[in-house]
Amino acid sequence: MQAARTLLLVLLAGLGLPGPASAAPVKLFEQAPVTIREVAPGVVLVDFGRVAFGNVLLRTPAVAGSVTVHFGEKLDGGRIDRKPPGTVRYGRAQVDLAEGRTLVVAPPADRRNTEHPAAVLTPAEWGVVLPFRWIELEGWPGALRPELVSRRAAFAATWDDEAAAFSSSDPVLDRVFDLCRYSIKATTFAGVYVDGDRERIAYEADAYLNQLSHYAVDPDVQMARDTFDRLAAFPTWPTEWASHMVFIAHADFVQTGDLAWLLPRYESLRPRLLLDRARADGLLVSTEAQMSKGDIVDWPPGERDGFVFRPVNTVVNAFYLRSLTLVAELAEALGKHAEAREHRDRERVARRAFQEKLFDPVRGLYRDGEGTEHSSLHANLFPLAFGLVPTPARKGVVEWVAGRGMACSVYAAQYLLEALFEHGEDRRALALITAPTDRSWRHMLDSGATITWEAWDLKYKPNMDWNHAWGAAPANLLPRFVLGVRPGAPGWARVEVRPHPGGLARAAGRTPTPRGPVAVRWESGERFRLEVVLPPGTPARVHLPAAEGTRGVWSAGRPVAAVRDGAWWTLEGDVAGSVRLEVR
């Protein structure tokens, strides 16, 4: 562990970056079994209720003997699956009991996630940790009493289970939120965001999606920061993952408003813009090698909706344009005004070429790239999510994207659902989350998942992990859009409240911010009623759904100054403290 940290510090120093701060510590929490039952003569199955990364404590009874312990994420016929599919975990350990001893039990370390140079190692003093829900004990002498066995589960030591809440009129949606929130908690085990258990490596896209959800369910920001620093030292290979480093840095600034953290890291973002790949019209160009391994579009490859790879790739360039916009905002915040102008000018030129070369005005859709007429979901969802679609074309792109459904992976679903929520398709967004198909979070729940999966199903990615936080997008989407709570200024100096009912009758919840929690409760019926409780000294700008025929907004029986803006009533003034509003 110390050798790995020393290597990281050396690599960061070579990049001119500060070393990572002391992260909010990760520690082992002892957990009692949920159930213990005999499943065969001399075989006891212990269920801890949900999957967690950890190991087992056995307290030896007054009888010695040899015990075989099986660890698993999956059952088969009521027993732990010894040969699970893909990267679903199974482990086995043999231990000799000795009267009066307490033993830490775990299988041997897995070479796949401990020997790669970029693998994130857990502390040696913990012993081996792995993800499991169940253990089976063969050969345990006598009855296994609950006090004799426990799981040591690794979570962020500062994790606050009460920091966030979400409930609604849809019980499936509520279960999805709980699944996704717990997925973020369970995957804090490594101290930085990793890709599940197969490699335990930080990847930029995984980290950004994890960061968004972590902010929405727990107050910690240090884990995202330490992950950024690790990725600065150990970058990964996909083209669009470079843009996600810009996204991570920008999300930190919006969440914290902390320029002191950003300043020494700002220069490391410039190489992530891939400016060396820009041609004269501003668009990025990919070589054959970059097209065959680099330009990723979506993952796994089967989730690309038939995307046709070309040297000028619409998805790659959408990420590029978004990165330029965000870097310009960061440069402006740091007082680097000339650099901000440079990035805005690049974005303006490249956006013009993006529209001219990649948009088909006849069909009203974006092509996958220059030189192909194929239009995939991805070539349209990313421009839509990143605000690149011109107003006259927007309605058609929105309708086409919404009609394609979940023709993408759990990774791209973050951006697809953002695009739908942002463009008035909240009903369709919620329907996709809870759809009775094998491409939804409902499917994960129905399959018994307690941590979100790396892919929609094993048939779409046969080697998928069952403990992958990039599949936990609803943990941030439901607070940000259904409750409608988002930062309106860096550091949450102002809150933005814009609920998206999506056909729900009610929703309520709590979102952590650096200034304290924001609580929201709303009901959508003949009248839309909203209650907001804000942290002290924190104003909020409120937007309320404007159903057809509504006349305005009232509070305590009195009209409130509000302006109708399309589908919204926007209050003219900010609110503070505890507020109740009603649309009539």
Q: Output the CA–CA distances (angstroms, integers) from residue 372 to 253, 290, 310, in the order listed.
A: 38, 18, 8
- Cα–Cα distance between 34 and 115 in angstroms, integer? 34
E strand map for 176-296? none
Domain residue spans of the chain: 2-156, 237-411+421-427, 489-583
Non-local CB neighbours of 150 within 8 Å, separated by 6+ positions: 30, 31, 32, 33, 56, 57
Query: Distance between CA atoms of 31 and 284, rounded to whole angstroms?
Result: 51
Distances (CA, A) of 21 to 9, 25, 221, 229: 11, 11, 11, 9
**Residue bearing tokens 């304290």:** 516
Q: Which CATH class is domain 489-583?
A: mainly beta
Exposed/middle/buried for residue 557 (C-beta within 10 Å: 0-12, 13-18, 19+): exposed
237-411+421-427 matches 2-156 in CATH topology? no
CA angle centred on 346, ends 340 and 350, rounded to 5°: 145
Nearest to 228, CA basis, from 253, 201, 202: 202
Determine the 3-state secondary structure of 115 from DSSP: coil
Q: How far is CA 12 from the centre of its chain?
A: 25
pTM here? 0.95
> Crossing angle, helix 391-404 and helix 410-422, to 10 degrees?
130
- Distance, in Å, from the CA atom of 131 to the CA atom of 53, rounded to the nearest integer, reads 4
Which token pair is 341?
């102008």
**HEC readout, 539-566:** CEEEEEECCCCCCCEEECCEEECEEEEC
Long-range CB contacts for residues 386-395, cutoff 8 Å, separation at least 24:
386/318, 386/319, 386/321, 386/322, 386/325, 387/322, 388/318, 388/321, 388/322, 388/351, 388/354, 390/355, 393/359, 393/361, 393/364, 394/423
The two tokens of residue 32 are: 């009692």
Q: Is 209 helix (H, G, I), strand (E, B) or coil?
A: helix
pLDDT tens string, the chain, 584 residues long: the values are: 444 555 554 555 555 555 544 445 899 999 999 999 999 999 999 999 999 999 999 998 877 789 999 999 999 999 999 999 989 999 999 999 887 789 999 999 999 899 989 999 999 999 999 999 999 999 998 889 999 999 999 999 999 999 999 999 999 999 999 999 999 999 999 999 999 999 999 999 999 999 999 999 999 999 999 999 999 999 999 999 999 999 999 999 999 999 999 999 999 999 999 999 999 999 999 999 999 999 999 999 999 999 999 999 999 999 999 999 999 999 999 999 999 999 999 999 999 999 999 999 999 999 999 999 999 999 999 999 999 999 999 999 999 999 999 999 999 999 999 999 999 999 999 999 999 999 999 999 999 999 999 999 999 999 999 999 999 999 999 999 999 999 999 999 999 999 999 999 999 999 999 999 999 999 999 999 999 999 999 999 999 999 999 999 999 999 999 999 999 999 999 999 999 999 99
Count of residues making up the chain: 584
What distances in angstroms separate CA 5 from CA 11, 91, 194, 226, 249, one per listed residue?
10, 28, 16, 12, 22
Contact present, 291 and 308 (Cβ < 8 Å): no
Cα-based angle 228, 233, 236 (whole degrees, multiple of 5): 80
The three-state secondary structure class of 247 is helix
Residue 359's SS3 state is: strand
Within 67-201, residue ranges assigned H as helices are: 171-186
Please give the CATH topology (third level) of the domain spanning 237-411+421-427: Glycosyltransferase (1.50.10)
| 100 vs 36: CA distance, rounded Å | 22
The pair of structure tokens assigned to 21 is 């701060």
Rounded Cα–Cα distance for residues 454 and 131 (Å): 14
Q: What is the CATH number of domain 2-156?
A: 2.60.120.260
What letter represents residue 501's amino acid?
Answer: P
